[in-house]
Amino acid sequence: MEPGLLQLVERDLVFVVDDEPVIREVLMRQLKRQGWRVEAFEAAEPALARMDKALPALVVSDLKMPGMSGVELLRAVRQRASGEIPAFVIVTAYGELDSAREALRYGAMDYVAKPFDLPELTRRLRNAMRLVELALGRATLRHMLAEDLRTPLGALHRNLEALEQGLAGALTPPQRELVALARREGARLHRLVENLDDLELLERDELYHRPEPVPLAEVLRQAVARLQAADGPAERGPAAPGAVPVRVAPGLEAAVLAADRALAVRLCECLLRAGANAAAAGSAAQAPPVLAVERSEAGGVQLELGPLPGMPGGSATLERALLDPAARRALRAAGVALNDELELSFARAAAAALGGTLRLQASPEACRVVIALPSRQAAAISGAAGA
């Protein structure tokens, strides 16, 4: 959720939207009994306009109304602000359950069927408000982590690097080893916060807006250089991110991405980081990861990273780990070193922002991450230069 919207949410406010006065009255009475402030609307349009001035935590909306429907209201709100807030509970008749399930696909939290069973209605509304509080808490914590930790973590990393280089006096070998370990872990946490922050910016569509023809070879070189500069010479070696081999298929050496340069570099950087982290944590029996660049089925560019550690449960487990922090903890508990720094989560969001896709090829033995991106012919650069 956008930080600005987070501050505007009135956490005790619920909008009730229904064209039937009796239904509005029943819903308002039940919500007020639970301690919520309620504003009621007989149509979706005035409720949407009211959100310019007051943003509720929850909207309880009828599915079918004259004019804009409940699903159309939901979609309009989500176009303004992606995320879980305001949460939606859709009110529907028993014969409209298929449409209510469609609303769930668009992001509604729940639905209730008319005629109401009052105890069931009360239970569902209570559950919805509990989930709203959890969603607001997650959004607040995420914003605090991204905004408040990034600067001090960067300062900590720089100070530890200075100690490691002996700028404050010579260190004994055990001291140097401890400082190096602290610096590596601090750098990992800094990257995690950076990816978390950038993920939030991508979700708000506020990160990178400069699409241009970009040579793929240049993107890959810059990604490797950024990783090597970030890690420093102390972490160079067989498992260093720059050491993850990059293999470009014949004919793609001059490929040109239709992309924002900085975002494309960050995407490749995250893929290489994921490969390096997997290589450092993997067993000697497993082949080291390779970033392969090939032509996609649609004629664009395909980036394939693998092999990565096998996934207990297959691709569905990794899919959840790309989105759900709880699933990431489950992966760590299972000894699977993937997405520890949210590098794959960011790569997935970056690929979507660049007009591409990320898919998974996962099994208990090994998995691969495959990203397809649109590309342009190399001639596009000369054409743009001559324009």
pLDDT digits (tens, 9 = 90+) for 257-312: 888 899 999 999 999 999 988 887 765 556 888 999 998 888 889 999 999 888 77
**Using CA atoms, how far apart are residues 223 and 205, in angstroms rounded to an integer?**
22
16, 41 contact by CB (below 8 A): yes
- For tokens 């890959």, name the residue: 220
**Residue 42, CA distances (Å) to 45, 70, 76, 91, 112 in order:** 9, 12, 17, 13, 18
CATH code: domain 212-382 is: 3.30.565.10
The reported pLDDT for the residue numbered 189 is 79
Q: Tens digit of pLDDT for each residue in 25-66?
A: 999 998 888 888 999 999 999 999 999 888 898 899 998 899
Check residue 42 and give its pLDDT.
95
Q: What is the pLDDT of residue 383?
A: 40
Q: What is the pLDDT of residue 377?
A: 52
Q: Where are the domains of the chain?
A: 3-139, 212-382
- pLDDT < 50: residue spans in the chain: 1-4, 233-242, 378-387
Top-level CATH class of 3-139? alpha beta
Handedness of CA 152, 231, 239, 215 (dihedral sign): positive
